[in-house]
């Protein structure tokens, strides 16, 4: 069984859209959003995947979501059918933290690859969880987003040395750091040097859920990326659709 997020109560968040971030930005993709996360970012724009009633971990909106309305369990075959109903050749598995459900994801992706061998599969992860052995060989791309100090997560939870070393050595892994202020850049540089993250696999992205905020931060962040040889990514889906589910 897989635990998914919902667009509306009882409606799993499986949809087609343009990838909004990172190395695949702008590509038509199928998305499946899983529920549950082992971290709690203060600025998380998908808090409905983890901040359920009774969860007091800090979040800037301080909204508590009802689990029954925002979480749904389906077996792997049901999820595969929902995905294969779309014709796009790229799948993005996002969350929450998808790798918490690695064994079930391995079953799902095996079904999908059997039905559509050319399907390109991306996993978006916070970088703290090792891929399940049965899943890892099926994944074409990892979008790894380690959480910096401004996320509000304790460093020993958010920045796991053995995992960061492993991701930095995996050519399928692309790093994406969320940046709120110029002060975040020194932390990124430190992580890059410590773990040997290749500059051409390192993206910086402005934090924000409104176009105006993203544009303001992009002005200075793009220049900083240029100076350091990093790559820059916007949040295309925010500009196109706003901060909405299923987009």
Residue-wise pLDDT for 36-84, tens only, equals 999 999 999 999 999 999 998 999 999 999 999 999 999 999 999 999 9
The predicted-structure confidence for 203-231, as pLDDT tens digits, reads as follows 999 999 999 999 999 999 999 999 999 99
Tell whether 219 is covered by a domain. Answer: yes
Considering the entire predicted model, what is its pTM?
0.97
Please state, as a whole number, how many other Cβ atoms lie within 10 Å of the Cβ of residue 160.
18
Report the side by side order of strands in the sheet with 14-18.
Answer: 14-18, 28-33, 90-94, 120-125, 141-144, 173-179, 202-206, 231-232
Helices (H) and strands (E) in the chain, counts: 9, 11
Q: Are 52 and 70 in contact (CB under 8 A)?
A: yes
Residue entry with tokens 């920045």: 159
**Residue 199 maps to which CATH number?**
3.20.20.70
Question: How high is the pLDDT of residue 232?
Answer: 98
**The domain containing residue 67 runs over which residues?**
2-241
Question: How high is the pLDDT of residue 130?
Answer: 98
Give me the number of domains the chain comprises. Answer: 1
Tokens linked to 144: 């790894």
Please state, as a whole number, how many other Cβ atoms lie within 10 Å of the Cβ of residue 215.
13
Tell whether 212 is covered by a domain. Answer: yes
Average pLDDT over residues 159-163: 98
Tokens linked to 236: 């295309």
Tell whether 247 is covered by a domain. Answer: no
Tell whether 234 is covered by a domain. Answer: yes
Tell whether 139 is covered by a domain. Answer: yes
Tell whether 33 is covered by a domain. Answer: yes
CA distance 243 to 224: 26
CA distance 45 to 59: 10
């Amino acid at each position: 069984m897989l635990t998914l997020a919902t667009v509306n109560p009882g409606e799993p968040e499986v949809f087609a859209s343009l990838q909004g971030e990172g190395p695949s930005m702008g590509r038509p993709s199928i998305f499946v959003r899983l529920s549950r996360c082992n971290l709690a970012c203060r600025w998380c724009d998908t808090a409905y995947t983890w901040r359920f009633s009774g969860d007091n971990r800090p979040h800037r909106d301080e909204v508590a979501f009802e689990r029954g309305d925002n979480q749904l369990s389906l077996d792997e075959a049901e999820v595969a059918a929902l995905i294969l109903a779309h014709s796009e050749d790229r799948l993005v598995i996002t969350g929450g933290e998808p790798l918490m459900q690695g064994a079930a994801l391995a079953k799902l992706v095996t079904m999908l690859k059997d039905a559509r061998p050319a399907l390109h599969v991306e996993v978006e992860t916070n970088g703290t969880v090792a891929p399940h052995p049965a899943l890892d060989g099926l994944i074409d791309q990892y979008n790894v987003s380690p959480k910096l100090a401004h996320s509000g997560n304790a460093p020993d939870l958010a920045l796991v040395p053995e995992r960061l070393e492993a991701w930095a050595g995996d050519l399928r892994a692309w790093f994406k750091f969320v940046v709120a202020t110029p002060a975040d850049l020194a932390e990124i540089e430190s992580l890059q040097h410590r773990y040997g993250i290749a500059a051409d696999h390192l993206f910086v992205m402005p934090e924000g859920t409104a176009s105006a905020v993203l544009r303001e931060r992009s002005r200075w962040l793009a220049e900083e990326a240029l100076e350091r040889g990093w790559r820059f990514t916007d949040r295309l889906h925010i500009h196109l659709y706003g901060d909405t589910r299923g987009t």
